[in-house]
Structure 1
Amino acid sequence: MKRIRKPQEQWLRVEGTHEALISRDVFDRVQDLSAKRRRSQKNAVTQIFAGLVRCADCGWSMRFATNRQNKTPYSYYSCTYYSQHGRGWCSSHYIRYDVLYAYVLSRLQYWCRQAQIDCKRLLEKVKDNVGGECTAQTKAKLTELNRLEKRRSDVDSLFTRMYEDRAADRITERNFTMLLEKYQAEQQQLEIRIQDLKAELSHAEKWLAIVEKYATPTELTAELLNALIDKILVHEAEVGPDGIRQQEVEIFYRFIGRLDGQSLSRSSIPDPVSLPV
């Protein structure tokens, strides 16, 4: 799709055409926090998303930068691969820092509220999600767990048959003792590994425990983001026939993967500085 940059005097801005994903109150608080952060750090925004934000197409990290040409400077992220290689390799995947901040904060606040309203229901949702968003490593662990549990059942059956054979003198005392020690050692190893795997696979409980710990956050910190989020994928923005700029942002949470994905539209999150689309 060919894009034509229009002069600023021809830009159109229509508000209230879509239901907002983030309330005005949340956005205003984000702007206030960002302003305080700029004042205290001489216009340098803390990079709390460092290592988390990635390009959804090429997988490279997003480059953090600040536009100081405007009357009110603002920070943003763009694809590092695109910045180094230019068009034909990837695209900018541009997203403003304050827009990303507001969206991520709103999603974390949403899940924290759900944990307070109905923790059990949220736990079931997260468990269902883990089943659908399994990584290759998780699937391998589940396969191993099923195999070990089957082997444990087989070993239990072997014990029963061994005692029956010994009682019927179908096996000597020496062989019985030797097999007993062998299967007891295997049984202990199986129990240890099965318990370890179950602990590693208890993703839903782990994530929910972290959510409950932070209650309802009012601002984002590096500690909060790294505790709850594994990565954030930013897609290239698209402009629909109505002129609305939409951009999909996927949040992959630690232990459980992707819970939801929504598109950000220019009318969904207020933007104090008009930008070309």
Structure 2
Amino acid sequence: GGKNACSSHYINQKVLTQIVMTDIRCKAMWAQNSRETLRTQLLAREQNASVERTRTLQAELNAIGKRLPELDKLIQSAYEDKVLGRIPESVCVNLLNQYEAERREKQERHKELTGQLAASRETESSVDAWLDMMQDYAQLEELDRPTLVRLIQKIEISERYTVDDHEERDIHIYYNFVGYIEA
């Protein structure tokens, strides 16, 4: 899209560095002084977002779990029907190819869904890891690249807008493991 889709957003590097350092210090102090409150808030937010997703993934996983044994029975039945002469060989081969393709697809999707469910269950350990990591940054003096890469996933800077005759903009800092945290 380029300039037609989004306007240019510019912020001075020193200003942004100061904002990020202040936010990191704030979150680090919060992690030190109110660890359980922050942990509860982060886990509740993640749980609310993932409950429906987990339910959907689990339902699809259950459906696949039922379909795979059905496919095994259908493959066996098609082979037996061919051997007993109930269906022509060409029909049997066509059915077997279709059933095999569906079974491979279902098995791949089963692996994928299992991985996604495991990832959603890792939220609690991710939050704890983030809280442990943040406590080291309460007295951050200088923001360097390794610190930035370790802590920050992305920073979003919105367009300027006017409030009471002065310009403002929103800056959202997304942390690794936990995302954006409202102050």
Residues 1:251 and 2:173 aligned together: yes
5+ long unaligned stretches in structure 2: 63-113
Structure 1 residues 204, 90: closer, same or farther in 2, change over 3 A? Answer: same
Fraction of identical pairs, as percent? 24
Distance 1:96 1:109 in 2: 20
Query: Does 1:131 find its partner at 2:47?
Result: yes
Q: Deviations over 1:8-39 (max 9, x none)?
A: xxxxxxxxxxxxxxxxxxxxxxxxxxxxxxxx
2:22 corresponding residue in structure 1: 106
In structure 2, what is the Cα distance between the partners aligned to 1:90 and 1:194?
Answer: 33
Alpha carbons of structure 1 residues 207 and 139: separation in structure 2 relative to 1, 3 Å: farther
Q: Which of the two has greater strand per residue?
A: 1
Report the AA paired with residue 160 of structure 2.
A
Q: Which amino acid aligns with 1:252?
A: Y
RMSD after superposition: 3.5
Match of 1:211 in 2: 134
Within 1, Cα distance between the matches of 2:135 and 2:40? 15
Aligned equivalent of 1:239, options 139, 148, 162: 162
Cα deviation, residue 198, structure 1: 6.3
Measured after TM superposition, the shift of residue 132 of structure 1 is 5.0
TM-score (norm 2): 0.58
Secondary structure of the residue aligned to 2:147 is helix
Look up the match of 2:80.
Answer: none
Cα deviation 1:62-91 (Å, max 9, x = unaligned): xxxxxxxxxxxxxxxxxxx33xxxxx4421
SS at match of 1:255: coil
8 Å CA contact 2:28–2:136 kept in 1: the answer is no
Asked if structure 2 preserves the Cα contact closer than 8 Å seen for 1:210 and 1:227, the reply is no
| 2:36 aligned residue (102, 120, 143) | 120
Distance in 2 between the 1:99 and 1:129 partners?
30
Which residue type is aligned with residue 182 of structure 2? D
Residue type of the partner of 2:179? G
In 1, the alpha carbon distance for the partners of 2:181 and 2:116 equals: 27
TM-score of the two chains, using structure 1 as the length reference: 0.40
Provide the rounded CA distance (Å) in 2 between the counterparts of 1:193 and 1:235.
34
Q: How does 1:39-78 map to 2 (within 5 A)?
A: none
Native 8 Å contact 1:133 1:256 kept in 2:
no
Cα shift at 1:227: 1.6
The one-letter code of the counterpart of 1:245 is E
**Higher helix fraction (1 or 2):** 2
Q: Is the 8 A contact 1:233 1:250 kept in 2?
A: yes
